[in-house]
Amino acid sequence: MLDFLHKIPNFEAYGNPQYFFYLAIALIPVAIGIYRQKRFHLYEALVQFVFIFLMFTGGKVNQGLALLAYIVWEFVIVGSYLTYRKNANRTWVFYLMTVLSILPLAIVKLSPALLGHNSLLGFIGISYLTFRSTGMVMTARDGVISGFNPWMFFKFVLFMPTFTSGPIDRYERFEKDYDNLPTKDEYLDMIQKAVWYIMVGFLFKFIIAYVLKDIAMPYVEDRALSRGGFSWSLLGYMYVYGLDLYFDFAGYSLFAVAISYIFGIKSPMNFNRPFISKNLKDFWNRWHISLSFWFRDFVFMRLTFTLMKKKVFKSRVTTANVAYILNMLLMGFWHGVTWYYIAYGLFHGLGLVVNDAWLRYKRKHKNQIPHNKFTEIFAIFLTIQVVFVGFLIFSGFLDKLFFK
């Protein structure tokens, strides 16, 4: 059986134009059904199962087995807690189930640093499935989710359009969309947007990101390495890498949102013109929005509340600053246990502390500090430079340049 699965060609999500051709054919009945105000539940499930199945054939069969084990684990954890939460609300149970929900992802992330090799539990998309599962536990604690619906759990956690890299949706929002089909006019508008998002996604991912990654990147990388240390070529690498990161991921996210729309689900947008941000906080409201908002709601806000409730710090400002740094450090660790991911998290944590201090100072001295078009343009320019320095740290290129 495993040999047979190894022989089936692997089908990377949104990996090439051929993928969209097969997906478009498979989605025609889905679109017709929703336009006629009806969900073909079995057909939708079959389409999603086939496309997810094909992500884990060929050389990724072991990842597929890890996915099966993972989904059983999360089903038990999330199902147990949501059932328990209907009648009780003990804090230690909540913390225990949250930790257990995150445990598979923590093992996968820590294994390379602690064991020197990747965990067998890893599979593509584990991070985003964990954000959904753990988010369900946390919102159940808040009383937002009442009761456990096994089939809706599978539909939400294994939603194929956003399976591998988000955007990260919230259960209550997803369930509402799934249960309430858009009207014919609303759905036609969604289809129109989906087509536009796919066209822009093609421009971003298959043209601009291709030029940046396959043509410009090797050139600036070679020159930066040949010169060594800090150089103009390193500056070029920083901008090329940052732009490639944006266009590649933004294109991918547009595909995911577009296909979600065809399923009648309004998955949230992940980017909103991040390069016109006026400060670092504004940037995180525009960049990888579903991830930064997940960390804001489920880490930063809860950490701030706990620190204030326990009166760990006397000052609200100190509390917020500590929460900023710990929140961004955790985001850095989530990317991987390497010095440059951790440094990236610390860089942005400290950046948000400085950003907040500047905004407080500006409010107190608003009559002395000019505010006009020039200062706004300067703020955007300065923010983007800070953001691109962060991208350079995140890229890991400094590790290659200075230590290898």
- Coil, helix or strand for 9? coil
Task: List CB contacts of 130: < 8 A, sequence separation 6 or more.
Answer: 74, 101, 102, 104, 105
Please state, as a whole number, how many other Cβ atoms lie within 10 Å of the Cβ of residue 402.
Answer: 10
Give dist(CA 131, CA 290) in Å, integer. Answer: 10
Active site residue 348: no
DSSP letter, residue 133: H
- Coil, helix or strand for 142? coil
- 150 and 94 Cβ atoms separated by less than 8 Å: no
By C-alpha distance, which of 394, 392, 400, 393 is closest to 225? 400
Cis peptide before 167 (omega within 30 of 0): yes
Half-sphere exposure of residue 380: CA atoms within 13 angstroms, side-chain side: 10
| φ, ψ (nearest 5 deg) of residue 157 | -70, -35
Q: Which of 6, 41, 288, 335 is catalytic?
A: 335
Give the torsion sign (CA, 156, 160, 165, 167): negative
Distances (CA, A) of 251 to 17, 19, 132, 243, 390: 13, 15, 22, 12, 21
- 277 and 380 Cβ atoms separated by less than 8 Å: yes
By C-alpha distance, which of 155, 120, 131 is closest to 48? 155
Catalytic residues: 335
